[in-house]
Each structure stands twice: as C-alpha cells, then as structure tokens.
C-alpha cells in the first residue's frame, strides 16, 4: 500500500467534499470525486464497456478516482474497486459515500465496493475462484506522460503526484492470469506497446486503446463478439 506522498494530501473542501490537493494550496483548488459530472449517454456503446464484455462481476484493480468504475457500474457491472494509495482511496471512498446518499446516484453507487490495498495481493481474494473464472479484470495503470502531449486533467496530475508512474503494471496482468480471471482488459494510450503480448483483440477509443485478453478455460469458446 502506498501512503501520502510528501507533496500531496487530502482535506475537506468548502463544499464538504474530500479533495486531493497539493500541500500548501488553498482549500477548494484540489480535485474531488464527483460522479454527477460523468456523462452516461450511450454508455453501452462506449469502447470501455464493449471491451469489458458481458455484464457481471468486474474487478477494477486500478481504481483511482473511480471514473471508469462508475461508467461500468452504470452499464450494469457489479464492480469491486481496488486502490493502493491510501490518500487516493480516501478521496474515492468519500465520493462513493456521497453518491450513496444522492437519490440520482445511489442505485449505481450501490454496485461499487472499494477495497484498499495492493491489487496483486487482493486479486485472488476479492472474489471466490468460481466467480473469477467468469469475471472481468479491468486495469488502467498510470503511464508516463507522452512528451509534447496536452496537459493532463487536474485529477490525473494530482494522482500522479500522489502515486507516481506505474512501473509494475505488467505484474497485474500476470496476477490476473494466475487468479484465473476470464477476461482481462487493459487501457493503454494509443502510442503504448501491449503490456502482455498480443491481446485477443483491441478496441480503439478516442483517447485510449483497450487490449482484451481472454482466458480459454471456462467454456472453450472465445471470440471478439463476446
């Protein structure tokens, strides 16, 4: 588990929400989790949702601020989030708790559960093995910013300050395979190499690519139409 970096902390903003903020900055200038801002129109045709396959149990092992988890829960998945940064997890937990008390968000929020810790250790514990054999594992690891690319949005810049880059991302794919997840979906920038060899198929989104790895163990049938 990673703790708070020296430059980043969390505190309550003037609106009563926990925010991730650079130490020394004024309250209210950080980033909080606000699921009301997430656009859900046409979600079932979003590349993220298509890549994650048939609705069911899904583990988002790199939860961050939970934006992808929210879209997947709204699309009908039951999502277990894992986040190893204590400070990022605290901000996410605050966002989920507030959503559970908001009548417009509560139904989706109830489909999300948060576990705090190192995903490589938790993947085989958060679901029983028979459930993992049908479940999707979703990974959106940090990646180094591309030189000359536009400035990342504030939440991502602050998360990067809190957790650094994700040099161990490939280990999560290996841990997911070892834990027998049916489908492993890895979000990658368009310019990045595959994390774990050639995927079964790829789905291109506007801002990212989704590499889909499918295990052959449950019923012997695999295919992009899944």
Ligand X SMILES: C[S@@+](CC[C@H](N)C(=O)[O-])C[C@H]1O[C@@H](n2cnc3c(N)ncnc32)[C@H](O)[C@@H]1O
Binding footprint of ligand X on the chain (CB under 6 A)? 61-62, 64-68, 82-85, 88, 118-120, 140-142, 159, 163, 166, 172
Nearest distance from C-beta of residue 79 to ligand X, angstroms: 11
Nearest distance from C-beta of residue 72 to ligand X, angstroms: 10
Q: Identify which of residues 34 and 118 has a Cβ nearer to ligand X in the complex.
A: 118
Q: Identify which of residues 46 and 62 has a Cβ nearer to ligand X in the complex.
A: 62
Q: Identify which of residues 82 and 96 has a Cβ nearer to ligand X in the complex.
A: 82
Q: Identify which of residues 21 and 119 has a Cβ nearer to ligand X in the complex.
A: 119
Q: Identify which of residues 61 and 109 has a Cβ nearer to ligand X in the complex.
A: 61
Nearest distance from C-beta of residue 220 to ligand X, angstroms: 31
Q: Identify which of residues 19 and 140 has a Cβ nearer to ligand X in the complex.
A: 140
Nearest distance from C-beta of residue 56 to ligand X, angstroms: 19
Give the residue at shortest CB distance from ligand X: 64
Nearest distance from C-beta of residue 32 to ligand X, angstroms: 12
Burial class (CB in 10 A: 0-12, 13-18, 19+), 25: middle
The answer to whether the CB of 202 falls within 8 A of the CB of 212 is yes
Nearest distance from C-beta of residue 11 to ligand X, angstroms: 18
CA distances from 19 to 10, 15, 38, 70, 94 (A): 5, 10, 17, 18, 9
User: What sign does the CA torsion over 102, 65, 124, 221 have?
Assistant: positive
């Amino acid at each position: 588990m990673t703790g708070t970096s020296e430059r980043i902390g969390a505190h309550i903003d003037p609106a009563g929400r926990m925010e991730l903020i650079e130490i020394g900055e004024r309250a209210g200038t950080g980033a909080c989790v606000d699921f009301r801002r997430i656009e859900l129109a046409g979600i079932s045709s979003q590349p993220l949702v298509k890549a994650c396959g048939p609705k069911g149990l899904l583990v988002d092992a790199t939860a961050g601020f939970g934006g992808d988890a929210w879209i997947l829960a709204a699309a009908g998945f039951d999502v277990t989030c894992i986040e190893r940064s204590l400070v990022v997890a605290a901000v996410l937990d605050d966002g989920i708790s507030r959503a559970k008390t908001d009548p417009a968000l509560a139904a989706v929020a109830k489909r999300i559960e948060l576990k705090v810790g190192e995903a490589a250790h938790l993947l085989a514990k958060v679901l029983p093995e028979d459930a993992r054999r049908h479940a999707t594992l979703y990974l959106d690891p940090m990646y180094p910013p591309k030189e000359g690319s536009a400035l990342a949005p504030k939440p991502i810049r602050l998360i990067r300050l809190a957790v650094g880059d994700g040099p161990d991302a490939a280990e999560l794919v290996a841990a997911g395979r070892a834990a027998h997840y049916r489908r492993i979906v890895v979000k990658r920038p368009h310019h990045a190499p595959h994390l774990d060899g050639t995927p079964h198929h790829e789905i291109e989104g506007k801002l990212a690519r989704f590499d889909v790895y499918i295990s052959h163990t449950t019923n012997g049938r695999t295919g992009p139409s899944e």
